Amino acid sequence: MRIELALYASLQGYLPEGPPGSSGKRSRIVELPDTITVGELAARLKLPDQPRISFMDGRAVTDHVALHDGTRLAIFPPVAGG
């Protein structure tokens, strides 16, 4: 399946090769196996072992959630502001 993957802040360097997505240099269109979870993708990308903030199509998701074809996944390291 094909998804749009966006990685932000300190995770940007882990973005794989691929055509750019809707967020320019922060995102890529990536091909993935048909059954893969957020956590499995994070492991595949070798993201640091730390808490993450992940959104699938604008909704917060945990590592156990399975990805779907055409979805947009955005992952942030632990950040905050205000």
- In whole angstroms, the minimum distance from the beta carbon of 16 to another protein comes to 18
Q: Of the candidates 6, 30, 41, 67, which one interacts with another protein according to CB under 8 A?
A: 6
Closer by beta carbon to another protein, 19 or else 58? 58
For strands 53-56 and 2-7, give the pairing.
unpaired
As given in the structure block, the two tokens for residue 50 are: 């730390």
Distance between CA atoms of 38 and 30, rounded to whole angstroms? 14
CB 4 within 8 A of CB 28: yes
Which pair of structure tokens corresponds to residue 34? 């048909």
70 is a contact residue toward another protein (CB under 8 A) = no
Asked if 13 is part of the footprint of another protein (rule: CB under 8 A), the reply reads no
Residues that bind another protein (CB under 8 A): 6, 8-10, 12, 23-24, 26, 50-51, 53, 55, 58-60, 74, 76-82
